[in-house]
Structure 1
Amino acid sequence: MFVGCAGWSLGREHAPAFPGEGTHLQRHARQFNTAEINSSFYRPHRPQTYARWAESVPDDFRFSVKMPKLISHEQRLQGSAQALDEFLGQCGELGQRLGCLLLQLPPSLAFEADVAEVFFTQLRERFAGAVVIEPRHESWVQAEPMLAGHRIAQAAVDPSRLSNDRQPAGWEGLRYWRLHGAPRIYYSAYETEYLARLAAALQAQAQHGAPVWCIFDNTASGAATADALKLVKLLGQSR
C-alpha cells in the first residue's frame, strides 16, 4: 500500500512529525512511501529535476506523476504523440521510483470511443507501467471495458463526481484513491471515522494482491498531511 499526499509541502504545524535535516521531499519520504507530483500538470520539468527527486527518496518510495494539462485539457487526448514523448522522456528519469501515471480529465471532456482508443494505444506503445485515470464526465462510465483492456485503472474519488467513482474501477491490477476533501473541496479534513472506514477498504483491496494507493489532495490548508499521517497509523504502516 502506498499512502501520501499531492505534493510534499510541509507546513510548520506538522514539523514535529518530520524531524531532522533535509528538503521537504526528503523529510516527507521518512513518513510516507509515495507522493503525487501535481506540478507536472501545469508545466514541464527537466529530466534532471526528476532524477534529483528520485535520488532524494528511499528505494521503496514511488511517485505518481500527473500528466500535463496540455494533453488532457488542451489537446483533449487528440494529436498528443509528441507531447507524450516529451513528458515520458522527462518523468522517465524517476526510474524504478516511477510508480504510475495519473490522467485527470476535464469535466467537459466526454467519452468518445474512437478518440480514447487512439490515445490509449499511443500511450501503451510508449509506456508499459501503471496508469490511473480520473474522468469527470458521466459518459466515461461506459469506458470501463476499454480501460480494463488497456490496463488502465480508474480512481475512486471523494467527493464523487460520477456514478461509478466511489470505488476503484477499470483495470483491477491497480487500486487508487484520490481524496480532495469534503465538504469543502481541497480544504476540509476527514473525520477519524471516515479514515477508519477507508483503512478497512484499503486493507480489503490489498488482500487481492494488487498495489493500493491513497493520495490526499486536500492540501490547501495542510489537512492532507495530517490525514495521511492518521491513515498510516491506522494501517500500522509507520516507516
Structure 2
Amino acid sequence: MNDALSNAPYKIFVGCAGWSLGREHAPAFPGDGTHLQRYARQFNTAEINSSFYRPHRPQTYARWADAVPPDFRFSVKIPKLISHEQCLQGSAQALDEFLGQCGELGERLGCLLLQLPPSLAFEPGVAEVFFTRLRERFAGHVVIEPRHESWVQGEPMLAHYRIAQATVDPSRLSNDSQPSGWPGLRYWRLHGAPRIYYSAYEEDCLIRLAAELKAKAQSGVPTWCIFDNTASGAATGDALRLMELLGR
C-alpha cells in the first residue's frame, strides 16, 4: 500500500474500474495472489462495475473484502436494472437485493455509484422518492453520474440527500467538469481522452489532477479518483503515475 497516501493527514483513494492487470504492467504488481490481491498492494480502491450488469452473490463480495487490506475501499456501481430499466421508479426490492449483496463488503464498502443514462431527465418527484428510499436503506457515501443536462437543476436536492456528483472527463454536462453536489465527498471518473475508454492521459494532465486532488483532500473531504480508460489498459498506467505524483 502507498505509505505516503496511507499516512497523510488527508485521504485520497486512487484506482481503476476493475482490477484487471495487463502484462505490460506486471512488473508493478509482483508476488503471488489473485489479480485483486496484487492490485490492492499498489492501490487503495477499485470500482466494481460488473455489479451494473449482473448481481454477485454475497459470498463473492465477502471474498473480495477478505482479499484486500483493512484501509482498502470499494466503490460499487448500482445495477442498471435500477438506473436504466426502472429509471429510479419502483426500485425498493431491487435496492434491497443489491444492498444485501454488496453489504457483505462490510467496512470495505466505501461508496455507491449511481450512473444514469443520457435519456433520463431530472424529475424532482421521481428523484426525491428514490433518494429517500436509498437513504432509508444506506447511510454511507453515494456519488451520482447523471448524463442529462436537466440534472444541473437537481444539485440542491443532491446536497440535501448527501449525494456527490462525479467530476467527469470527458465532460457531458455544464457542471460536471468540477466537483458538485454534496461537498462532503469528491469523486473523479476519468474515461480517457481524446478516445474515450482507450486513451491514456498526458503527463501535464496528470500533474494538474494530482494538484487538484491534493487541494480538495487537504480540506478533510474524502477524495476519489477512478480511471475508467480500461479498454486498452491505459487506466492502470495512469493510476500508477498519479500515485507517484501524489507522493508515493
TM-score (norm 2): 0.95
| Counterpart position of 2:63 | 52
Which residue, 5, 26, 51 being the options, matches 1:15?
26
Look up the match of 2:200: 189
Structure 1 residues 156-235: aligned runs within 5 Å: 156-235=167-246
CA distance in 1, matches of 2:179, 2:231: 25
Q: Once the two structures are superposed, what CA deviation does each residue of 1:166-217 show, in whole Å capped at 9, x if it has no partner?
A: 0110001100000000010000000000000000000110121110000000
What amino acid is aligned across from residue 228 of structure 1 in structure 2? A
What count of residue pairs does the alignment treat as equivalent?
237
User: Please, which of 16, 35, 60 is the counterpart of residue 24 of structure 1?
Assistant: 35
Please give the TM-score of this superposition, normalised by the length of structure 1: 0.99
CA distance in 2, matches of 1:99, 1:167: 21
| CA shift digits 1:61-112 (9 cap, x unpaired) | 0000000000000000000000000000000000000000000000000000
Instruction: List, as ranges, runs of 4+ consecutive aligned residues in structure 1 with deviation greater than 3 Å.
Output: none
List runs of 5+ in structure 2 lacking aligned partners.
1-11
Q: Which amino acid aligns with 2:176?
A: D
CA distance in 2, matches of 1:133, 1:51: 25
Once residues 97 and 204 of structure 2 are traced to their aligned partners in structure 1, the CA distance between those partners, rounded to angstroms, is 43
Shift of 1:58: 0.1
State yes or no: 1:63 paired with 2:74.
yes
* Distance (whole Å) between structure 2 residues aligned to residue 198 and residue 66 of structure 1: 23
Match of 1:137 in 2: 148
Residues of 1 paired with 2:184 and 2:32: CA distance? 37
